[in-house]
């Protein structure tokens, strides 16, 4: 009963917009604002990146991942090359990654901190898989899929941070926890100005089944989560995707080129997710 009250309070705070973000995300939020400005120039972006060494290092690492060097491009050794190669939308996703990751940065409890690190590894791999799947299979905007993959567990990071101050909050989860996460995710994404189509795809993941053949952003995320070799540390609702494994296997058997693309996606995603983890 006490835990239910704690969740009710957290949900109520979220609905009132009383979400407290770590001060360490200010640099990433500032970069996002710069990138969203229609009058933004490359020099402005580089200045913001260079002011935050972690962001700059991740930008260069991502630019050197297999996905962004697939055409034999030379190794990026500086921020300017990274900005030109990645483009503003992928840099926006990179800034979002830092925002999401920082939710767990102040966790003191070793077990919860370990869970936050594991959740980031999972999210980064899902995001990278979604990028490649979008580009090669579902044929939607790959940078949108990358952004959605990064954001899709944002409520989990937030709750891990709150659990540090409310011991036992995430122990023995009940059915209502998923609904609470959905409300919290909506409010966080609203505050971060996540586009509505992306937010809708993320909140509709719970209890959803992938389409055969997969199409659209939600299916892209569902397939990415299903293929992800890195387990999530948080309890997952029973996923109808698991019940459709046979249907998906049958589809891949009939379309061997899609199966081959998924194998290729897994290889490229490994390189890309490693860059996000820098």
Residue in this structure with the two tokens 């709750």, named with its chain if needed: 159
- Degrees to nearest 5, angle at CA 92 with 22 and 119: 55
DSSP-assigned states of every residue in 185-251? HHHHHHHTT--HHHHHHHHT-TT----SS--HHHHHHHHHHHH-SSPPSS--PPPHHHHTHHHHHHH
Question: Are the C-beta atoms of residues 123 and 152 closer than 8 Å to each other?
Answer: yes
pLDDT of residue 242: 47
213 preceded by a cis bond (ω within 30 of 0) = yes
pLDDT, tens digit, for every residue of 157-194? 888 888 888 887 777 666 556 777 888 889 888 888 88
Helices (H), the chain: 2-15, 26-36, 42-50, 53-63, 79-102, 110-133, 142-151, 154-163, 176-191, 196-203, 216-227, 240-243, 245-254, 256-276
CA 227 – CA 66 distance, rounded (Å): 19
- The total of other beta-carbon atoms located within 10 Å of residue 57's CB is 15
Question: Are the C-beta atoms of residues 36 and 92 closer than 8 Å to each other?
Answer: yes
CATH superfamily ID and name for 1-277? Hypothetical protein af1432 (1.10.3210.10)
Q: How far apart are the first and last CA of the chain?
A: 41
And the tokens for 85?
């190669």
pLDDT of residue 84: 93
CA 25 – CA 157 distance, rounded (Å): 14
Cα→Cα distances 129→7, 87, 100, 145, Å: 32, 19, 18, 9
pLDDT, tens digit, for every residue of 225-276? 888 888 998 866 545 444 456 777 788 788 888 888 778 778 877 888 888 7
Please name which of 49, 130, 64 lies closest in space to residue 94, comparing C-alpha atoms: 49
And the tokens for 100?
């999401």
If you average pLDDT over residues 24-42, what whole number do you get?
85
And the tokens for 72?
């034999």
Where does the pLDDT of residue 23 fall: very low under 50, low under 70, confident under 90, or very high at 90 and above?
A: low
pLDDT, tens digit, for every residue of 126-135? 998 999 899 9
Cα→Cα distances 271→217, 224, 233, 258, Å: 22, 15, 22, 20
Question: Are the C-beta atoms of residues 137 and 255 closer than 8 Å to each other?
Answer: no
- The set of residues, in sequence order, having a beta carbon less than 8 Å from that of 69 and lying 6+ positions away, is 63, 75
pLDDT of residue 241: 47
């Amino acid at each position: 009963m006490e835990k239910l009250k704690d969740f009710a309070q957290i949900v109520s705070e979220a609905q009132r917009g009383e979400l407290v973000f770590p001060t360490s995300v200010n640099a990433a939020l500032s970069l996002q604002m710069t990138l969203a400005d229609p009058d933004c120039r490359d020099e402005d972006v580089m200045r913001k990146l260079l002011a935050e060494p972690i962001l700059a290092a991740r930008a260069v690492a991502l630019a050197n991942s297999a996905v962004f060097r697939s055409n034999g491009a030379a190794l990026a050794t500086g921020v300017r090359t990274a900005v030109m190669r990645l483009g503003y939308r992928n840099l926006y996703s990179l800034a979002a990654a830092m925002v999401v990751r920082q939710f767990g940065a102040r966790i003191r409890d070793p077990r919860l901190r370990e869970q936050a690190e594991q959740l980031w590894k999972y999210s980064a791999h899902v995001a990278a898989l979604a990028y490649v799947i979008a580009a090669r299979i579902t044929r939607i905007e790959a940078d949108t899929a990358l952004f959605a993959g990064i954001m899709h567990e944002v409520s989990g990071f937030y709750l891990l941070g709150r659990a540090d101050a409310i011991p036992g909050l995430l122990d023995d989860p009940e059915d209502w926890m998923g609904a609470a996460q959905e409300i919290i995710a909506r409010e966080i994404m609203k505050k971060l100005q996540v586009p509505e189509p992306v937010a809708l795809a993320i909140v509709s993941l719970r209890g959803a089944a992938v389409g055969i053949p997969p199409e659209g952003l939600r299916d892209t995320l569902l397939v990415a989560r299903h293929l992800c070799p890195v387990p999530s540390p948080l309890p997952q609702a029973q996923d109808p995707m698991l019940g459709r494994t046979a249907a998906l296997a049958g589809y891949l058997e009939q379309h061997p080129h899609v199966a081959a693309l998924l194998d290729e996606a897994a290889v490229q995603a490994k390189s890309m997710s490693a860059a996000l983890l820098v």
